[in-house]
Structure 1
C-alpha cells in the first residue's frame, strides 16, 4: 500500500525533493530493488491480458521470469548494477493488513469474473491487480534466475524495503528502485521511481531526495515518520477524514503524534481502536535488517549462458535465440561498463608526441589531450 497521498503531498509542499532523471544518469550506479514488487508487476500482466505467450508449454505462468530476465538484462546493458532484495518474515503488526489483502483478493476474484462478462476494461485491470499474489515458488524461481544472471541477491530478515534503505544509508548502493513511497519513511537517502517502466507508459524517472523531503516539509526525521503513520501505512489503521494536507498541518502544529491524538479527543475524528502508532513508529525507525558485515558482499559476475538456456528454454519454454542474444549483450555490457567507469573518473589514458618527436606522458589528473579528467555523467562519484 505504501503511504497514502504522500506523492501528491510532496509534489505540492516539497517539490524540490523530486527531480526527473534520464536512464543514462544511472550508469555505474548500484541500485537496490524490492524484488517482490517487481515480481508483482510482472504477474499483473498475466492477470490483465491472459496472454498465453507468458506461460510455458505445460501451462505454468512465466511472466515473472520473462519480466525479471529482460528487465534485469536491460538494466545491466545500460550500465546499472542491480541488487535484488527479497522479503523475509513480515512484522507481526503487518499481519492484519496481509489478512485484509487476502479477503480483498477473494472479493476481487468474483468482481473480475463479472467485469470480464460485461467487458469493462478499466474494471478488468483494477480487479486483476487485486487477485494477484506473489508465491514462494515465484520468489524461488526468480532467485534462481538472478543467480544465473550473475546478479547479487539479498535475503532480508523482514521487510525488503527496510533492508534496501539500510543498504543505501550505509553507502552500499546509490538508491532504491521502488514504487512504494514508504521507502522514504525508512529514511532511504535516494528513492527512484519508474526506473524501468515500459516505454509505452511514458512515465518519467523520478528521484526523491530524503533530505530535501524533510527540508521542504519543515519536519524532523521523527516528525516525518509520524506524518506517514498519520497519512496511513501498512502497520496501522487509518483515521477517517485525515488526508495528507491535514496530517501535515497537524504534525507541524503539535510536533508529534501523541499530541496530535490528544488534540483529537474533542474533535470529529475517530481514532481506530487499536491504533498501535508507537509500534509502527518503532518498525520504521528500528527495522529488523542486516547491518554492516552482515550484508553479503555485492558481486556482479558474468551470466551463466548455458545454465540460463537450460532453465529458461529447457524448463520454461523460452525462445533460445532471444535468451542467448540477451545473455551475450549483458556479458558484453558488463565488461564495457567496467572500463567506462574507470575512464569516467580519470579520463582515457593516452600519450602524444612532443615537438621533438618524443612521446609525452599525460600529466597527473589530466585526461585526453591534457584536458581535465572527466567526471561521471552526474558529475559525482558512483556507488
Structure 2
C-alpha cells in the first residue's frame, strides 16, 4: 500500500482493531467550536483528509456516525444510549461529556501492531476511589484549563484544584459551577470563615490565587461548562448498518 502516510497508518490501526472482532463504529467529528482558527488551505486539507478517511472506513466495512461539535461528545451519547460499550480514544474529555468507559489503545510500528496492554479507564472506578463525578471533573477542567477555557485559573495546579473540589463539593450531583461558586465566594471573603473549617479550607482562603473577573459566573466559564455538560450531539437510537467490505478499493482510496 503506497498511499498517503496518514491513511496507511489509519488503515493499519483500524485493521488491528477489527481483527479481534470488536464491533466497530467510527464517529466522524464535525467542526469544533473551541481552539484556534484555521486558514483556508488548512481547512480544505483537513476536509480532504476526513473525506478520504471516511471512504477508507466505508470500504473496510466500518459504520461511520456523523458527530455534532465533538466526536468524543457523540461517542458519549452512544454509550449513554447503550449502543456501544465505550470509546477507544486518548482524549480524556470523553468523561467530561458523560462517557463511562474509555479504552486507550497504543499502537506501534506505524499502526501495524497493538501494544500488549489495552487500558480501560472507568468512571465507576473514578467515582468509587477518587470521589470524582462528572461535574467534579468538569470543575477540575475549568480550574486547570481545557479546550474551551485555555489557561484555567492562574496559580491553580492539580493539587490545589483537587483540594478545591474536595472542600467545596457537598452533594454528588452538585453542578460544576456551583462547586466553583462556593469556592469563589469563600476565597473572596463573601462567606465568613468558621471554627469548623478544615486546615485545607483555611489554606485555600489564603492561597495566592488570582481569580478571573466574575469567577465562575462569567460568560467564558458558563459557556465552557455548558459545552461539556450539554454538548451538541445527534440523538442516536441505533447504529447505522455497516457497509459491505470492499477491500479491493482500499488501495485506491489511499493513493
TM-score range, shorter chain: 0.7 to 0.9
The 5 Å alignment of 1:258-297 reads: 258-265=181-188, 267-272=207-212, 276-293=220-237, 297=239
Contact kept, 8 Å, 2:95 with 2:134, in 1: the verdict is no
2:162 aligned with 1:248: yes
The 5 Å alignment of 1:203-352 reads: 204-237=117-150, 238-255=152-169, 256-265=179-188, 267-272=207-212, 276-293=220-237, 297-312=239-254, 316=255
Which structure's residues are more often helix, by fraction? 1
Length-normalised TM-score, structure 2:
0.75
Q: CA deviation at 1:275?
A: 6.8
Contact kept, 8 Å, 1:150 with 1:304, in 2: the verdict is yes
> 1:178–1:298: structure 2 CA closer, same or farther, 3 Å change rule?
same
CA distance in structure 1 between the aligned counterparts of 2:45 and 2:184, rounded to whole angstroms: 36
> 1:76–1:201: structure 2 CA closer, same or farther, 3 Å change rule?
closer
CA distance in structure 2 between the aligned counterparts of 1:278 and 1:218, rounded to whole angstroms: 23
Q: CA deviation at 1:140?
A: 0.7
Q: What is the DSSP-based 3-state SS (H/G/I as helix, E as strand, rest coil) of the residue aligned with 2:107?
A: coil
Larger-Rg structure: 1
Q: CA deviation at 1:301?
A: 4.7
CA distance in structure 2 between the aligned counterparts of 1:201 and 1:82, rounded to whole angstroms: 16
Length-normalised TM-score, structure 1:
0.51
Unaligned runs of at least 5 residues, structure 1: 1-52, 57-61, 104-130, 317-383
Q: Say how many residue pairs are matched.
A: 218
Partner of 1:197: 107
> 1:184–1:292: structure 2 CA closer, same or farther, 3 Å change rule?
same
Contact kept, 8 Å, 2:13 with 2:107, in 1: the verdict is no
Contact kept, 8 Å, 1:236 with 1:275, in 2: the verdict is no
CA distance in structure 2 between the aligned counterparts of 1:219 and 1:202, rounded to whole angstroms: 29
Contact kept, 8 Å, 1:86 with 1:155, in 2: the verdict is yes
Q: CA deviation at 1:139?
A: 0.5
Partner of 1:44: none
Partner of 1:90: 32
> 1:225–1:134: structure 2 CA closer, same or farther, 3 Å change rule?
farther
Q: CA deviation at 1:165?
A: 0.8
**TM-align CA RMSD:** 2.8
Q: What is the DSSP-based 3-state SS (H/G/I as helix, E as strand, rest coil) of the residue aligned with 2:210?
A: coil
Partner of 1:151: 62
CA distance in structure 2 between the aligned counterparts of 1:72 and 1:281, rounded to whole angstroms: 33
Unaligned runs of at least 5 residues, structure 2: 170-178, 189-205
Task: Summarize deviations over 1:203-252 as a string: whole Å, max 9, x none.
Answer: 73210111221222224432232122212211113223212221111111
Q: RCO higher in 1 or 2 (8 Å CA, sep ≥ 6)?
A: 2
